Structure 1
Amino acid sequence: MNSYHLDYPLEVDSDIKNLMANAFGALVHEKEQGVTGYYNLPEESGLIVEEIKKRELDQKFDRIVVIGIGGSSLGTKAVDHFLRYKKVHRPIYFLENPDPVAIRHQFEQIPKENTLFIIVSKSGTTIETISIFKTALAHYKIDLAKDNEQLMVITDIDSPLHLFAQEYGIESFAIPKNVGGRFSVMSAVGIVPLSIAGYDTLGFLEGAKGMFERFFMLHEEHILQKAAFIYKNWQQYSMNVLFSYADELENFNKWYVQLWGESLGKKDPAGNPVGTTPIAHIGSVDQHSFLQLVMEGPKDKTLTFICIENFEEEIAIPDISLPHLAKTDFVNGALFNRLLNEECKATMESVKGQGVPTDKIVLPFINEDSIGELMAYYELLTSLVGAMFGINTYNQPGVELGKQILKTRFMQK
């Protein structure tokens, strides 16, 4: 299990208790009434893992290409990046952004033979995804009738993409109707490519399931307290800064930014804009560029620190004393694991001394269970804050206007 330490100045009085109780009740209602289905994915998706193993889909390909964007790729990419140094036989490539230079370069790196192309789009009409898919068809000269075993689709039942797959006999997996893209990593969206790649997706699901179960048994009250502080103080602390002390968490950071920003940047029932801005950094790299602002700039941020207790890599700093550089010798002989985590502790202590609200999450290891639990934690936290704001956490009306304008611009060409 991951460990969580909250150091927010929150006085849990009767008002806060009522706020937390009401938000908790809202999530119970969501779960029981099927408002959103992500709470049930750890159990439901176990069947997908069994099917993939039974049909030996994880033995048929040398590599996987995921064609998707946003919620259709970020969660999968976060897990893959976190576990990237594990001995997995099949790499995953992600074709996301319609950047012509990046697309051309990636096509040059990926051979057609023994490659599985997975097209992921909940709506089935995501313009970037379908455009890149068309380009892959042309580049690799994929025959939809003869090469259909190299194609797979993950989408909503009866979406245009699902109907397309049916017409050509292409394998398809369904995304539950009540699971939005940014909450879908534990659905087929993440579980299918990660399982085929060879990751322990059952362990990933078990980590998430444990967090969900403990939360609904009221054994994870710290999540409620953190949500309450964010809600009560969001106008003063308008930014949530995540400092992740591991390169392996870089794409998790990006997943967090979408989850938080797209879920909580809304108008409340009175029509007032609400939401805090998510910012994500990698420690210790980014503390050299951002920490000064936190320390002496406006006190409008909360900071979350994530570190990994055991990297399972025993690389020591050599006991070498270099001319003119003796003042760095105090770390000689220490493991890099310790150096990074001590930097995390020192930075956290320094910002706390400036009155910045902080909390800390410690992952015991780099494994599937840890990242599954962490992602479940953030999904719950997001839903709680949304419930406190009284908004629909699971829609994204602000995104649709840009899509409509894009279509209009192309129709006018």
Structure 2
Amino acid sequence: MPTFTNHFNTKTLDPFTLEKGYEALLYEMQSGNIGYYDLPKSSVALVEEITPLRLEIEKYYDTIAVVGIGGSSLGIKAIDRLLRPKTPNAKKIVYFENSDPVSILHEMNRIDKTRTLFIIISKSGGTVETLSIFKRLIITFDLVLDHSQQILIISDEGSILSQFADEYHLRRFVIPANVGGRFSVLSSVGIVPLTLAGFDTLSVLHGAQDFLERFLARKEEHVIQKASYYVTHSARMPMNVLFAYSDMFEEFGKWVVQLWGESLGKRNRCGERVGLTPISLIGSVDQHSFLQLIIEGPLNKTVTFMHIKHSDVELLIPKLSLKYLEKSDFVNGISFNHLINAQCQATMQSVLQSGASVDEIEWDKLDEASIGEMILYYELLTSLSGALLEINTYDQPGVELGKQILAGYFQK
């Protein structure tokens, strides 16, 4: 279970603001308009439903090609990256996301057509990148469409992609209508490909449900405090840095950036532009790049330090002293996990001393339940912040405008 510590002063927070945030989320849950709150429990049935399919495809496929972008891929990649070291026998997952021809060709060259299950994911069903790549895959690999067991569709009920699936008698799974793309990782979007790949998604869901229940029982007040602090200080500190100490958090950080940026960069009721800008860093690498700006640049950022207390990998720094290189001998004989955690703590102390606002997330260990908890934590934090900013957390009018302009380019 992760441990959450807010190092900023919570005593100055307005109790009314804290209650306002909690009541807003309670209303959202009870209204049924926002569906991600139900996913940790409702998706358990989905795992059970696709278990026979998982056993079936194990005979034929060793690779899963996920064709999707944004909310249709980032959460899958995050969980895949975090769990891959402890699930080495999981099927290889290849991702087709961007309309970059170099990347598309590179990923296609990694595929054995006869051993690959293609999963096409688009909530709206009309995502131009996804459909364009799908067309390319059909032609390149000469995919048979009608009654194909090699193509699986995940989309909204009634979308054009779902209609396509029904026309060609393809397997398809539904994304609940009240679940937005960036909040959909615990729906069929993430659960189907990750379960079919061989990951323990039930434990992820159980971890998420446990955290949600503790939140509702007011046993996770730090989430409300953090959202309240961020929003009430957003004029002075409009940026949040997630400084995560493990390469395995790189994809998770990208998922957080989408969740945070697309949800919280909006116009409020008065038409004012508001938002909290997410920045994802990896320690200790970015101690040698971005840290200088945090320490001596403007105090306009909050910083979240994230690290793993216990690692499954015990790799030691050799007790080796090399001529001229004795300067680094003080860490000889300790584990790399000990080193990276010490670097995290030292950096966090330096940032605190600089006057920046800091909070800390310590994973006791990296496992499925902890990942589920962390997904719910960031989703709740996003919803709380959006409610306190008095915006619609769940739309993305700015993104839709860009799509309309793009369509116009090719219709002239």
TM normalised by structure 1 equals 0.98
User: 1:287, 1:393 → 2: CA distance?
Assistant: 32
User: 1:58, 1:312 → 2: CA distance?
Assistant: 30
Match of 1:216? 216
Match of 2:26? 28
CA drift of 1:8 comes to: 1.2
Write the deviation string for residues 16-73 of structure 1: whole angstroms up to 9, x where unpaired: 1111111111101101111211011011111111111134245242110100000000
Match of 2:142? 141
Aligned-residue CA RMSD (Å): 1.0
TM normalised by structure 2 equals 0.98
Match of 1:132? 133
Match of 1:370? 370
Match of 2:398? 398
Match of 1:254? 254
Write the deviation string for residues 193-250 of structure 1: whole angstroms up to 9, x where unpaired: 0000100000000111111111111110000100110011001011100001011110
Is the Cα contact below 8 Å between 1:68 and 1:121 reproduced in 2? yes
User: 1:57, 1:259 → 2: CA distance?
Assistant: 34
User: 2:209, 2:129 → 1: CA distance?
Assistant: 33
User: 2:276, 2:12 → 1: CA distance?
Assistant: 22
Match of 1:115? 116
Match of 1:97? 98
Q: State yes or no: 1:194 paired with 2:194.
A: yes
- SS of 2:119 mapped into structure 1: strand
Write the deviation string for residues 131-170 of structure 1: whole angstroms up to 9, x where unpaired: 0000000000001126x10000000000000000001110
Write the deviation string for residues 265-287 of structure 1: whole angstroms up to 9, x where unpaired: 00010111101110000000011
Write the deviation string for residues 374-406 of structure 1: whole angstroms up to 9, x where unpaired: 111000000000000111100001111110110
What runs of 5+ residues in structure 1 fail to find an aligned partner? none
Deviates more, 1:54-63 or 1:111-120: 54-63
Match of 1:47 among 45, 54, 75: 45
Is the Cα contact below 8 Å between 1:294 and 1:351 reproduced in 2? yes
Match of 2:329? 329
Task: Report the count of equivalent residues.
Answer: 409
Write the deviation string for residues 69-107 of structure 1: whole angstroms up to 9, x where unpaired: 000000011000111222233111110001111111111
Is the Cα contact below 8 Å between 2:90 and 2:199 reproduced in 1? no
Is the Cα contact below 8 Å between 1:58 and 1:198 reproduced in 2? no
- SS of 2:219 mapped into structure 1: coil
Counterparts of residues 308-319 of structure 1 (less than 5 Å): 308-319=308-319
Equivalent position amino acid for 1:165 in 2:
A
What runs of 5+ residues in structure 2 fail to find an aligned partner? none
Is the Cα contact below 8 Å between 1:310 and 1:365 reproduced in 2? yes
- SS of 2:146 mapped into structure 1: coil
Divergent runs of 4+, >6 A: none
Is the Cα contact below 8 Å between 2:65 and 2:93 reproduced in 1? yes
User: 2:102, 2:177 → 1: CA distance?
Assistant: 35
- SS of 1:322 mapped into structure 2: coil
CA drift of 1:114 comes to: 2.3
